[in-house]
Chain A
């Protein structure tokens, strides 16, 4: 049967036959085949067989047996509805957050005042109960992230269920707006310095006041919050809301009825602050005349506390000198702690530092200072350490999930980009070091202060998300099968867990962490680059 039993040189093989039938042979070759077929029964039989197989394949493949599934009946809307969803998601998250802050959090606060504070699991789990107040910024952030994650997942699930998009957006938007209305009722005055700004004494701003200027001086009163981006800020007037400031030098001499939140090179406070003070600064000076009604939370190079703090003190400092009074507990991590003769520490003081605290004989202490030398490296024998690692894994997993669900295409791009190890590491290193430098330059030129701060913020987010991209890539290397969201989530979980375990290795762990950050940032940059460059025509 087989032509190979009669191997004529002019017989052609099956590939040639197929190419001939499909019109892929050049003219000369095709003519030779045509001529041969005319005289060769075996080869013409081959052609007929192949041809009928082609027809059969074509018919089998195009046979229309399966209707399009119901979920595919409507055209996908995400191309244009994308921003709608983001807006809905944002509004929903904001609405939930407002709901939390307006109803749930006060209820919890009431409960804890009534003696139910042990029931607050989040509080007990994540923070020291005694330092609760000082950490409320942090708590809000954690809650916000958690709510945003939940909101994102809920919306994603709903999207699968309800194909009708617009009504949901409107309902959610309206709901969120309704929830947001009361806090948004107060308007704000926005002032731009030329280049400096002064609110003269005797004048009163009835709203919130937002100032961006080179030098800012507030001698008058502000009824709402004072938000300032300025190289130098001096407040002599009365601020009835909070002070939020970014600048190189901040001096508060006037009374503040709300909180003070500052990020500044140097801060001096010499007045009464009714609520809490949170500062991130190179140097902090709390004058003898200063009184803080709430807690004081700070990260600082050096601080001198000569005034009165009614609440808790939480401090991470290069050196800390206390010569005033602390009404409550103190948690201090510092290289050096000096307790002066006029100091009065009523609560418990926990101090972690390289050196013993220097306590003057005149100082009055409510209880002895609990001193601990900082541990070098993690304590592998403690269960807490592993629990903390699991929490960290959970946080990064949720964050990754958020990116995966909100921007699946981009997520896949970063995974692919992470596969290009060399360029990813190169770009990652460049951006890891160049971004903060650029941001700081932007901050110095006062016009770019907000740009610089936003840049730094994005950079921090990029550093955090680095592990997600590398984790996903690693997961793909480890678990090779599966497409779709489920598999991607699995890969992400495993990849992140592996990274988490690797970074627990003594010494090498830090290096691995560093490499992961550079690698992930590089993948992010490459993926962004891919998104931004003009699209290459798909039909080449």
Chain B
């Protein structure tokens, strides 16, 4: 679980110094902090929100929130965790305000197939789809499923943090993640099937 993979590297001492400068109102330090983390937050928003414009707006708004709320950040905890928490709360609020969430807040497990997945099929999916296609497939998932995957596998958030952000019980996070994976597998399989059908149709 290496958060620095997405957020660029700034060692702890540097970060602590920059944060205290920002708190003291240093505009350069704020610029430095922003440069360091804005790309990661932008990509994070880009994966969660449907339109590029939305992601850009959200990034700006998140950093304004960060600047306002920086006083409440507990420096004994990892900064990136806090940053992603602010960002995910913001994105989730934005999505919720759109009210197009299809999935319900129930904890039903019925939607999960009982059988183990076919490892061969999983491997094929992984080989056939580029990361771009995965992200396109991700965009087709219901908001909450997409949130769960991005929070976990992009932002490396803990189950507790995810549960808190999405307002679900912690025990339900695993189910949510797995269901989201299933939905993504289905979406990707469908897209490759339709692609095959198309190219097959052309050939005949």
Residues of A participating in the B interface, judged by any CB pair closer than 8 Å: 1-4, 13-15, 18-19, 22, 24, 42-43, 45-46, 48-49, 52-54, 56-69, 71-72, 74-76, 78-80, 409, 412, 476, 480-484, 535-540
Contacts and interface: CB of A to CB of B under 8 A. Distances in A.
A60 B131 contact: yes
Nearest to A55: B126
Between B73, B112, B115, B129, the greatest number of chain A beta carbons within 10 A of the residue's beta carbon is seen for B115
A483 B164 contact: no
A32 to B, nearest CB: 17
B108 to A, nearest CB: 13
A537 B81 CA distance: 13
Contacts of B38: 68, 72, 75
Given A58-B153, A75-B33, 8 more contacts: A19-B174, A65-B132, A66-B46, A481-B99, A483-B49, A483-B54, A535-B68, A537-B72
Contact of A53 (B47, B138, B154, B181): B181
A56 B98 contact: no
Interface string B134-152: 1100100000000001100
A300 to B, nearest CB: 49
A45 B46 CA distance: 34
A76 B64 contact: yes
B43 A537 contact: no
B131 A59 contact: yes
Contacts of B164: 540
A481 B56 CA distance: 18
Given A53-B126, A483-B94, A2 B116 contact: yes
Nearest to A416: B97
B103 interface: no
Contacts of A59: 131
A13 B114 contact: yes
Interface of B: 5-6, 25, 27, 30-31, 33-35, 38-39, 42-43, 46-47, 49, 51-54, 56-57, 59-61, 63-65, 67-69, 71-74, 77, 81-82, 85-86, 89, 94, 97-100, 109, 112, 114-119, 122-123, 126, 129, 131-132, 134-135, 138, 149-150, 153-154, 159, 164, 174-175, 177-178, 181, 184
A22 B57 CA distance: 33
Contacts of B123: 49, 52
A410 to B, nearest CB: 13
A69 B77 CA distance: 30
B73 A537 contact: yes
B97 A68 contact: no
A482 B98 contact: yes
Contact of B97 (A3, A14, A53, A483): A483
A530 B97 CA distance: 18
Between B38, B72, B119, B150, the greatest number of chain A beta carbons within 10 A of the residue's beta carbon is seen for B119
Contact of B63 (A2, A71, A75, A480): A75
Contact of B53 (A78, A79, A484): A484
Given A66-B43, A483-B94, A57 B181 contact: yes
Contacts of B27: 80
A57 B153 contact: yes
B15 to A, nearest CB: 15
A216 to B, nearest CB: 46
Contacts of A62: 5-6, 153-154
Contacts of A42: 116
Contacts of B64: 76, 78-79
A1 B34 CA distance: 51
Contacts of B119: 45-46, 48-49
A15 B109 contact: yes
A4 B112 CA distance: 14
B59 A72 contact: yes
Given A4-B115, A538-B89, A57 B122 contact: no
A223 B49 CA distance: 64
Contacts of A19: 174
